[in-house]
Structure 1
Amino acid sequence: MIVYVLWMLGWLQTLARRDEDKGALGRHGLLLGSLVALLVALPLVQTISGSTPRFSILLTLVLVAAVLVNSHQRWIFVVASLTGLGAVIGIAGAEFSGSSSLRLAAHLLSLGLLGFTTLVLLNSLIQANEVSRDTIVGGICVYLLVGLCFGMAFLAIADLQPGAFVSQSEALVPSLADTSALATQLLYFSFVTLTTLGYGDITPVHDMAQMLAVAEAIVGQLYLTIFVARLVALYVGRASKT
């Protein structure tokens, strides 16, 4: 089993490195595609039976893409792969067993991988020497990952404290019958908070949820300001050399 896992890790790293020279269609493009698919497909398939683990399937695709995008350094790839493997096992175990503990562990491990990937991509953006298609795609990925990370954090809080969020005076409680419903609502809340739209239809009532919502709004505004400033600085610096 250990040999098989190591072989799979090596194969994934080879696959990611093979696509590395494809620019935006390579590692960053795959991650962006999986993130967009999660955000677009999740609400569109609400008509599917609640027994279909649509959020788990889409989240797993994002996790695989996150592992592939971390293939440029071995230690980063190993950390991402092991965390991602644990998250996928937790997701599958929670779906088959209905265990709330496994679901919480899956959410936390997913948050760990997504947060780690966000930091890695952010570091690569800071170190970039020019504006390229891959730089822009990577920057978009970071923004979407921030929203997804906070969404996973909100899900973990909802697992630990059912009723931490309310919608129209009704508590949002995790359901073993349809885990995707709560995920859809809290991802919606996360991106509404990240963009500071603040519709107010979903409200955090737990202290930790409230502070995370405030932090997300601040991070979202700071990131957009800093990212755009960085792109302008790189463009101006390149133009001055030509």
Structure 2
Amino acid sequence: MTEPRFPFLRWGAMLRRHPSALLLGAQLLSLLLYPLMDDTPRGRVLFGAVALVVVPLAVWVVRRSPSVNWIAWALALPAISLSLIAIAFDMPRVLAWSSVLEAALYFYAAGGLISYMLHDHRVTADELFAAGATFTLLAWGFAYAYFVCQAWYPDSFTGLVHPERPRRWIELLYLSFTTLSGVGIGDILPINAPARVLVMLEQFAGVGYIAAVVSRLIGLSILRQQRDNLG
């Protein structure tokens, strides 16, 4: 099979083979953009732009996995629409409902990728990218759940800096990453029952993901390498 002559065709072919890599790259790139998302109108526009990119990518990756695609679009389209309406008209309650749908979409996409990684006993390069993308999807999903919890139950979280104010999005995402990874730095804390339940669920999800999915991929990769050495 000959390689495409033009570089953009080669990139397109690679992304079709490894869609999880594109999603992982977009998630990591958005981390670099989130510090620019403050409470200004520019920050709100940027927040909406990131959603317009990342959410369709999550749907695309689900489509490549054994999951049902229409469920992903049923979550993604109203989530994007409500998010843009909330940002354009400064409607926090609508933003909370869009966050409910986005959390559900990210959890659904993570489930689709986990199913994709577990469907056979062969580890591909895209499945390794999918392992990283699934971690970020879970982290974003719980961050949106924290955002909804804070909107519905004020004073759900506190922190070492300005403990009396609501936590910003980047702080909730930071809490999600530290909780899911098991680091648990502790400068952002849940202080009521709903928030603590969410944190405990994420701790359970993080331990289960490492134990059931990541360890399996590592074990299958080692077995494949051993077979290649013997062969």
TM-score band by shorter chain is 0.7 to 0.9
- Residue 10 of structure 1 corresponds to none
- 1:29, CA displacement in angstroms? 1.8
The unaligned stretches of length 5 or more in structure 2 are 1-10
Q: Which residue of 1 aligns with 2:189?
A: 203
Maintained 8 Å contact 2:158/2:188: yes
Q: Does residue 75 of structure 2 align to residue 51 of structure 1?
A: no
Find the counterpart in structure 2 of residue 91 from structure 1: 83
8 Å Cα contact 1:192/1:198 also seen in 2: yes
1:173 paired residue among 156, 166, 169: 166
Instruction: Measure the CA separation in 1 of the matches of 2:95 and 2:87.
Output: 8
CA distance in 1, matches of 2:96, 2:104: 12
- Equivalents in 2 of 1:28, 1:73: separation in Å? 10
Aligned match of 1:5: none
- Which structure 1 segments of 5+ residues have no match? 1-18, 175-181
| 1:138 aligns to 2:130 (yes or no) | yes
Deviation at 1:191, TM superposition (A): 0.7
With 73-82 and 193-202 compared, the bigger mean Cα shift is at 73-82
SS in 1 for 2:182: coil
Q: CA, structure 1 residues 118+146, in 2 after alignment: closer, same or farther (shift >3 Å)?
A: same
Give the secondary-structure state (helix, strand or coil) at the position aligned to 1:71. helix
Q: Does 2:102 match 1:110?
A: yes
CA-CA distance at 1:207 after TM superposition: 0.4
Between the two proteins, the alignment pairs up a number of residues equal to 215
Question: Quick one: which amino acid aligns to residue 164 of structure 2?
Answer: A
The answer to whether structure 1 residue 222 and structure 2 residue 208 are counterparts is: yes
Of residues 182-191 and 56-65 in structure 1, the stretch that sits farther from structure 2 once superposed is 56-65
RMSD: 2.5
The alignment status of 1:67 with 2:53, answered yes or no, reads no
What is the rounded CA distance, in whole Å, between the counterparts of 1:188 and 1:236 in structure 2?
32
Quickly say closer, same or farther: Cα 1:138–1:24, change in 2 above 3 A: farther
Q: TM-score scaled by structure 2?
A: 0.83
Aligned to 1:220, the other structure's residue is in SS state helix
Identical aligned residues as a percent = 22
TM-score (norm 1): 0.79
Looking at structure 2, the residues matched to 74 and 197 of structure 1 have their Cα atoms a distance apart, in angstroms, of 32
Q: Does the aligned pair in 1 maintain the 2:100–2:144 contact within 8 Å?
A: yes
Deviation at 1:199, TM superposition (A): 2.1
Equivalent residue for 2:170? Answer: 184
The answer (yes or no) to whether the contact 2:66–2:116 under 8 Å persists in 1 is no
Report the residue type matching 1:230 in the other structure. Answer: R
SS of the residue aligned with 2:41?
Answer: coil
Note the alpha carbon deviations across 1:151-190, whole angstroms, 9 max, x for none. 010001011112111123623427xxxxxxx111100111
